[in-house]
Amino acid sequence: MRRLVKPASGDASRFPVFYTVIGGITASVGLELFLHPHDMIAGGVTGISRLMSLYTQEHFGLLLFVLNLPLMLLYSLSTHKPMLLRALPGLFAFSGSAIILSPFPAVSGHPVVCALGGGICIGLGAVLAARHGGLLDSLGLNESDDGRPSTLLLTHRKIPLIQIVMLCNGLLLITAGFVLGWEPALYSALSCLAAYETTRLMFTGLTRMVCVVSKKQQTIEDAIYRRLRIHSTPVVDSAQIEGKIKSESEDKKEQMVIVYSVHLLDLQRFKAVIQMADPQAEIMYMKRWKA
């Protein structure tokens, strides 16, 4: 194990709006410089906005903002959380940068390269926004405790939202096949798959096991769950892991060791929350990455 350096007071992780804006710009790069020049579409409201823009002659970025706004408001009301205010900066950046980038040509003339590159950019942008409280697409590929509800109540029956998203994306790709042609629709499906796999990898594939040694166990657990929605593993006494954590004094034996699985993108925020909850806490992590 190695001890983590305690975060400075000016840690960049305290400015989540910055990351949601960068996420919005990254996603729009995937759309305007990879997908749209080859008549490909993304999933969710983003793809619906693209198809509508082709028929109404309205700008894609404007439709993207207008269609996402009421759904985000609905989710904010249903979850009783101020999600809309946190999502607006990323949505503004997403739609605004799409307007700015629309005149630029495609990065590559090969549709497979653009399908994969566009999907990866969209996935990265969605994760950057969602990890910091934002949401780029109301029917996006990612799920977040602070964003969309996990289920919707339809006909007196709760239906997992992921199933509704997959159904909507399937119907959207079929519609794109009739409107844009089946070859662009197939490349669009490849792009959606790349975006989904990128999102899944970034959400679940880059985590570290982190140990927190502190006397304020409950305070830290409450703060971490409130800010990051991360649950700890069962707490053990530090005396049980003396071979892994070297105590500097006998007083350490009165402390508790709390073990967390923390995503790489949340590591700086995790350290900042621990520092605020208990400045005397020690933070250590295992060298091995969890795949």
Q: What is the pLDDT of residues 36-76, one digit of tens each?
A: 999 999 988 999 999 999 888 889 999 999 998 888 887 77
**Local confidence band at 208 (pLDDT 50, 70, 90 cut-offs):** confident
Domain ranges of the chain: 14-204, 206-290
Q: What is the DSSP secondary structure assignment for residue 107, as one 8-state letter?
A: S
Could you tell me what percent of the chain has a pLDDT over 70?
Answer: 73
Question: Is the CB of residue 130 less than 8 Å from the CB of residue 75?
Answer: no
SS3 state of residue 160: strand
**Local confidence band at 14 (pLDDT 50, 70, 90 cut-offs):** low
Q: Give the pLDDT mean for 88-97.
A: 92
SS3 state of residue 37: helix
The pLDDT value recorded for residue 226 is 82
Question: Is the CB of residue 281 less than 8 Å from the CB of residue 223?
Answer: no
**Local confidence band at 143 (pLDDT 50, 70, 90 cut-offs):** very low
> Nearest to residue 221, comparing CAs of 173, 194, 258, 185?
258
Burial of 275 (0-12, 13-18, 19+ CB in 10 A): middle
Q: Which residue has the tokens 């304020």?
A: 216
DSSP string, 123-148: HHHHHHHHHTT--S-TT-S---TTSS
Question: HSE of 240 in the Cβ direction (CA atoms, 13 Å)?
Answer: 8
The pLDDT value recorded for residue 176 is 93
> Nearest to residue 139, comparing CAs of 56, 71, 235, 211?
71
**Local confidence band at 4 (pLDDT 50, 70, 90 cut-offs):** very low
Is the per-residue pLDDT at 149 higher than 50?
no
Bridge partners, 280 (sequence order): none
Tell me how far the alpha carbon of residue 29 is from its chain's centroid.
17
List, edge to edge, every strand of the sheet that includes 282-290: 2-3, 282-290, 207-214, 256-263, 236-237
Q: Give the pLDDT mean for 207-221.
A: 84
> Nearest to residue 40, comparing CAs of 119, 156, 105?
119
SS3 state of residue 280: coil
Residue 127, number of CB atoms within 10 A of its CB: 27
Structure tokens at 74: 């609905």
Structure tokens at 204: 């679940």
> Nearest to residue 148, comparing CAs of 233, 58, 57, 86?
86
How many residues can be counted in the chain? 291
What's the rounded Cα separation, in Å, for the pair 235 and 256?
Answer: 7
Higher-pLDDT residue of 219, 231: 219
Higher-pLDDT residue of 57, 11: 57
Structure tokens at 167: 């159904």
Q: What would be the CATH architecture of the domain defined by 206-290?
A: 2-Layer Sandwich (3.30)
pLDDT digits (tens, 9 = 90+) for 19-28: 889 999 999 9
**Local confidence band at 201 (pLDDT 50, 70, 90 cut-offs):** confident
Question: Is the CB of residue 277 less than 8 Å from the CB of residue 220?
Answer: yes
